[in-house]
Structure 1
C-alpha cells in the first residue's frame, strides 16, 4: 500500500502524466493484491465440449448466473425469445438439475431436434439452459434444489443456483418450461394442479407418471408462484427423448390454442407502457421524502419534478420546495460534520430547485457542497472530498461542481470539476475504458460504471461547450460509453460486473448508463444511428424489470469497496421496492419521455 501512496503523492498530475499515473497505480495494486483474471473451470470445459457436439444454429449464447465454483451457467437463446413482439409459443428446456450428464445431452438433443424441423418454427421457438448445475455434473446423490428459493439472491451458498434459475426464468418468461432428467425414462411428471395448457397435452399419447411433482420442485413452484414477481408458468418434468416432438405434436393442432404464460403476459404489459406512464407510476412511490440530503432521495425528488414538467403539473415542484424548506431556512443542516460523497451529490436537488425557481437561496445551498472542493484560502483541493478511491465519486463530486459553475458563472467550479474527474481516472479507469470500482480490485462493478456515465452526462449538460473542460469530458464520456456498449447483454441490460456475463443483470447500472446515452442523444453528443438501437434494447430491459407499485427486479444493494470479483457477485440483488432503484428509474424514464417529446 505504501507503494501506491508514494505514487499518488509524488507523481505529477498534469494531463500529460495521467496515463503514466493510471498505469503505475494499476500495476502496483496488481502486484500487491494479485490478478483477478478468471481461471479455467473443469466443469465449464466439460460443458463447453458437450455443447459443441450438437449442431445448433441461430442461437444466442449467454449465461444465467454463476456457481460457487465460479463456473458460468450457460443458456442458449432463440432470437425470437429476445423479441418482445414475437407471438410464437416459447418453450424453455432445462437440463442438469439432477447432475446427470444424460439430462444435459437430452436438453441439447431436444433443442437440436426442434431446429431440424422447419415446420415447427411457424408457431414455436425453443431456448435452453443445458446445465443448471455444472459443478454437480457426475456427482452421486446430490440434493434437490428447493423452489421458490429462500433467503437473499444471489449470496446463499446452498441455493444461489436456485435463485439464479428462478429469477432468470421469471424475467425470460417462457410459455412452457420442461425440466429434463436423465433417469425419468418416458415418464412425465406434472404439478398437482396443472395449468390448462398442461391438461391439453396430457390426453395425447403421453405416458403419465403415477406420482405428482413435489411441492418444492421447480415445475410445481413455477405453476403456483410468480418467479421474479412476473407470473406463473406451466411446467412439467420428463426424461423422454421425444419430449419436444410429443409436446409440439400435441399442441400443433388447429383445435388447440396456445395461451401465453402469465409471466409472458405480464412482461408484455410492462413493455407496452410509455416512458411517461412508467414515470408517473414510479412517482406515486418514490420522491416524497428528503429526511437527509443524500443522493438517493434527492434524485427521486428531482425525478418527480421532471414528471411535473412533462405533465404541466405544478404539484411536484411545490412538494420539492416544501421538502427543501427546512434546509433553505437553516432549521436543518444540509451538510453536517459527518458527511459523504452522497451528501455532496444530494445537493443536486438544490441546484435543480434554483434553476426552476430562480431563488438564490437554493443556489447558496448547492454552493456549500461545491465549495468543499476548495481549501480555506479558496484554492482547489487535489480532488473533492469523500471519494474513498471509488469510481462512484465521478458522479458524487463532478455533477455538483458543474451545476454550481453554471448557476454562478464562476469558471473555477468547472476547472475543479475537470480536476476531480482526472483524479478519479488515475485511480479507477482501466486500460479497456471501463472503471474498476476501486484500486482494491480490478472488478468493473456495474453501478461503479453507471456512476461515471451518469456523472459525466450531467456535468457535460452544465459545462460550457467552448471550454477545455467540456472537450475533455466529452472525449471521456464517449470513450466510456463505447467500452460499455461492448458488454451490453443480449437482453439489453448491463451486468453486476460489466464484463462478466455470468453476473446478474443489474437494474440501476442499466438505468444510469441508459440515461447517459439518452442525454447524449438529446444534446447531439452521440450519433442516433449508432446509439438509438442500444437504447431500444436497454429501455426494454428496464421496463421489463419495473412492476406495478414500484416493484423492481435485481437492484444491487449499497456497495462499498470489495476485495474480489466474488464479493461483487454476492452483493444482494433486491427484488421489490427500493429507493435507489426507484430514483434511477425515475431519472431514465423522464429522460426518455423528454427525448420522445422533443
Structure 2
C-alpha cells in the first residue's frame, strides 16, 4: 500500500473505515463477548457473597448474578446455569437469613434475581420469592416516614428519595414483575417514577446530578440512570403515555455521553471533568445503554455503534488475568463536595463493575 493511500485511509471517519464489518459483532481474539462473558460469569460462581451491611445479599451481587444468568441462558451454557442455580439454592434453606428485607430501594431490587431465574427455569418457587419484592415497593408500611407517605399519596413508591441510583433499583424489579405477570401496573408505575426523576435530576446537557443538592455528574450514578432507562424502554408498551418523555431523556443523555467520551474510549468518574480518572463501572453501563439503543433502533447505528465499540475495546483491557475488573469506584453515597468524588477508593473485582461488563456481553450477543 502506498503512502498516499494509507494517509487517505487514516483520514476516513471511523464508521466509514469499518463500513464492511459489523462494529458490534466482529471483535479480535480476547475481546469477543463470548470470551469475556465466560471469564466473568465463571469468576462470579466461585466468589464470596457481597453482603449489604453485613446482613443481606447486596445489590452489586444481585446484578452480577443477573448478568451471569442472562449470559448462561443466552449462550445455552447448561453447566454454567446449573452452577448459578446451585449457588442460589442455599437461599431457600441454610442461607435464608441472607435474603434482603423489603424496606429500601437497595434491598427490594433483589426480587429481580429470583424473577430472572423464574423466566429461565419456570419454577414457581422463584416467582413466589421474587414478587413480594416488587409489590412491597408500593405497599406503605405503618412506620414509614411522613415524606415516604407523601410520595405514596402522589402515586410514587414510598421508597422514593431522588438519588439517581434508584432508577435502576426500582426499574429493574418492576420491569421483571411486568415480564412475568404481564400486569401493566408494574411497568406503568415504574415509568411514572422515571419521569419524576427525569424532571428533577436531568440537566439541560442531558446528564444527571447525583441528587438535587449534589450538583456533580458522577459516572456510575449516571450509569444507573442510563441502564434504568434502557431496561424500561425495552419493555415499556408503545402506548404508555410516559414513553415519549423517557425516550427523550434517554436520547438527550446518549448525545451528551457521546460528546464526553474520552479519547481513550472511557468515561471519567466525573463525566464532564477531563482531569478526573477513567472509571470502569460507569463506562460499562453507558456502553450497555448504547449497544442496546443501536440494536433497538433508538440510536443511529452509523453515529453510535463506533462510540460503543470504542468503549468496549477500551474496557476489556481493564480485566486482569483473574477475570477481575480494575478501577471500579466503591459504593458511593451522595455528598456536595467535588473532591469527595475524586478521592473515592478504586477496587479490583468489585461487583459494581463486574455486573455491567456482563450486561455488555449479553447486549452484544443478543439478536434484536
The TM tier, using the shorter chain, reads 0.7 to 0.9
Q: Deviations over 1:359-387 (max 9, x none)?
A: 3332233321221332359x776433444
Match of 1:322 among 78, 82, 86: 86
**Would you say 1:582 and 2:354 are equivalent positions?**
yes
Tell me, yes or no, if the aligned pair for 1:287 and 1:303 is still in contact at 8 Å: no
1:451 deviates by 0.4
Q: Which runs of 5+ in 2 are unaligned?
A: 1-9, 15-26, 142-151
Q: Tell me, in whole angstroms, the C-alpha distance in 2 between the residues paired with 1:539 and 1:501.
A: 19
Q: For residues 311 and 411 of structure 1, what CA distance do their matches in structure 2 show?
A: 30
Q: 2:131 — aligned with what?
A: 367
- Pick from 507, 514, 533: which aligns with 2:306? 533
Cα distance change on mapping 1:385 and 1:408 into 2, 3 Å? same
Q: Distance in 2 between matches of 1:321 and 1:301?
A: 10
Do the aligned partners of 2:195 and 2:242 also contact (CA within 8 Å) in 1?
no
> Would the alpha carbon gap of residues 475 and 343 (structure 1) be closer, same or farther in structure 2, given more than 3 Å must change?
same
Judging changes above 3 Å, is the alpha-carbon distance between structure 1 residues 567 and 454 closer, same or farther for their aligned structure 2 residues?
same
Displacement, 1:324?
3.2
Q: Which residue of 2 aligns with 1:311?
A: 75
CA distance in 1, matches of 2:157, 2:81: 30
Superposition deviation, residue 445 in structure 1? 0.3
Among 335, 345, 356, the alignment partner of 1:572 is 345
Residues 195, 246 of structure 2: 8 Å contact kept: no
- What residue in structure 1 maps to residue 99 of structure 2? 334
Cα deviation 1:519-575 (Å, max 9, x = unaligned) = 12222222211110111111111112112112333111110011111111111122x
Match among 353, 363, 367 for residue 591 of structure 1:
363
353, 364, 369: which one aligns with 2:117: 353
By relative contact order (CA 8 Å, sep 6+), the higher-ranking structure is 2
Provide the C-alpha distance between the structure 2 equivalents of 1:375 and 1:578, rounded to a whole number of angstroms.
32
**Shift in alpha-carbon separation, 1:462–1:351, aligned structure 2, 3 A:** farther
Cα distance, 1:444–1:376 mapped onto 2, change above 3 Å: closer
Secondary structure of the residue that 2:319 maps to in structure 1? coil
2:39 to 281, 286, 300: 281
Regions of 4+ moved over 6 Å: none
Q: Provide the aligned C-alpha RMSD in A.
A: 2.7
Contact 2:287 2:360 in 1 (8 A): yes
Q: Greater helix percent: which structure?
A: 2
Q: Distance between the aligned counterparts of 2:212 and 2:198, measured in 1?
A: 11
Offset, 1:327? 4.4
Match 1:343 to one of 103, 107, 114: 107
TM-score (norm 1): 0.51
Which residue pairs with 1:122 in the alignment?
A: none
- Stretches of structure 1 lacking an aligned partner (at least 5 in a row): 1-78, 84-268
CA contact (8 A) 1:300 1:584 kept: yes
1:467 to 1:342, Cα distance in 2 relative to 1, 3 A:
same
Q: How far 1:484 moved relative to its partner?
A: 1.5
Q: Take 1:311 and 1:414, find their aligned partners in 2: how far apart are those partners?
A: 28
| Larger Rg over CA atoms | 1
